Structure 1
Amino acid sequence: MLAPLLALLAIPATFAGYACTDTTKAMVSLKGPGPGNGTVYFTQQAGSDEVHITGELNAFTPGKHGFHIHTSGDIYTDGCASTGGHYNPFNRTHGAPTDRIRHVGDLGNVEVDDSGHAKIDFTDRVITLCGRRTILGRGVVVHSGADDLGRGGFADSKTTGHAGNRTACGVIATVDATK
């Protein structure tokens, strides 16, 4: 009961009881129905409310691509479509990573250069690797188009960011935090 209220007020994860007691690291290997692929790491230091997200994407079309945590880690039943919608435990509208009101899984866009490559390196204070709203076991999806961050005025802007088809996905799994 308290966690949704704290999230509504944009209280950091440490105060909401979702900070990790040990450094926790996870990764996702992205593959798709399209040619895009990549590896992304998530690291949350002990006692911190920030998750550091790093990685690389390859063989994507140049430009911005929506980058989201989806509810399910099922990529086997029907490929990337099996991951469900954006991870949204508080039933909010879609938004930018910096918005106070957003899905937990709204991580915005990654920018792919002209060679089809993207470097990822940012932090987020809404996702967590610990506690009840952990992203562990959930899906990551890279979309074919740019996420309009809920501001595009399309019928799906407030639910998906009008980011287009799912071009690559994977399941977030823990890895050895000492490596």
Structure 2
Amino acid sequence: MSTKLKKVAIGLSVAGLLTLVACQSMEQGTGQKASATLDSRSGSKATGEVTFTWQGSNVLVNGKFAGLKPNSEQGFHVHEKGDCSAPDATSAGGHFNPDTKAHGMPNSGMNHAGDMPNIKSDANGNATYTATMHGFAVNTGPTGVVGRSVVVHRDPDDYKSQPAGNSGPRIACGLIK
């Protein structure tokens, strides 16, 4: 193959790769939204509302919570099943983990897709929440959260203990739709 043909082939390969990357980014989030209303579980009074908004390769998570333990932190995760029917929310299954990674610090790349930062409540047991996450999508695909559940735990996630961060009982659960 001549040098000129090799340069053309490399140029076409690079152009093909750039086209593929552009197509992948177009398939990323375009503002799709999902939400969940969380109801109390495990005898708690915890409730909440959460929204997920897809923004490019990230998802903006916003929430408002009430009935939490005052001045404390609670673990907060997307769980694999969209089922909050059990009184203790165990019907939601484990943390959403499509890449079969260990539990860990959110957005570290070494964590479950469903691992999110802890919720921090005020003196009245209320909390507002905002986090920018990556590792999941706002759709029903293999990395999508739609049709799964979101869970608040009684205790803070330590981001180390396996498989779920030692965050205690599930005190609120909601279906993401």
Q: Aligning the two structures, in what range does the TM-score lie when normalised by the shorter sequence? A: 0.7 to 0.9
Aligned partner of 1:93 among 102, 105, 110: 102
1:35-46 paired onto structure 2 within 5 Å: 35-45=45-55
| Identical columns (%) | 34
RMSD: 1.8
**1:137 is aligned to 2:141:** no
CA distance in structure 2 between the partners assigned to 1:147 and 1:17 by the alignment: 34
Name 1:53's counterpart in structure 2: 61
1:18–1:128 CA contact under 8 A, matched in 2: no
Which residues of structure 2 form unaligned runs of 5+?
1-22
CA distance in structure 2 between the partners assigned to 1:53 and 1:75 by the alignment: 20
1:18–1:132 CA contact under 8 A, matched in 2: no
Aligned residue pairs: how many? Answer: 151
Code of the residue aligned with 2:152 in structure 1: it is: V
The two structures have a TM-score, normalised by structure 2, of: 0.79
Name 1:27's counterpart in structure 2: 35
Aligned partner of 1:159 among 147, 150, 163: 163
Code of the residue aligned with 2:167 in structure 1: it is: A
> Could you report, residue by residue, the CA deviation over 1:5-56 in whole angstroms, capped at 9, with x for unpaired residues?
xxxxxxxxx9588613x421110001122100010111113xx011111120
Helix, strand or coil: the match of 2:40? coil
Name 2:92's counterpart in structure 1: 83
1:49–1:125 CA contact under 8 A, matched in 2: yes
Q: How many Å apart are 1:163 and its aligned residue? A: 0.2
Name 2:121's counterpart in structure 1: 112
Code of the residue aligned with 2:47 in structure 1: it is: N
CA distance in structure 2 between the partners assigned to 1:89 and 1:17 by the alignment: 22
Code of the residue aligned with 2:97 in structure 1: it is: N
1:28–1:171 CA contact under 8 A, matched in 2: yes
Q: How many Å apart are 1:76 and its aligned residue? A: 2.0
CA distance in structure 1 between the partners assigned to 2:165 and 2:26 by the alignment: 29
The two structures have a TM-score, normalised by structure 1, of: 0.79
CA distance in structure 2 between the partners assigned to 1:64 and 1:75 by the alignment: 22
Name 1:4's counterpart in structure 2: none
Name 1:176's counterpart in structure 2: none
Which residues of structure 1 form unaligned runs of 5+?
1-13, 151-156, 174-179
Aligned partner of 2:173 among 158, 169, 172: 169
> Could you report, residue by residue, the CA deviation over 1:129-167 in whole angstroms, capped at 9, with x for unpaired residues?
1343100010101000000011xxxxxx12100000000
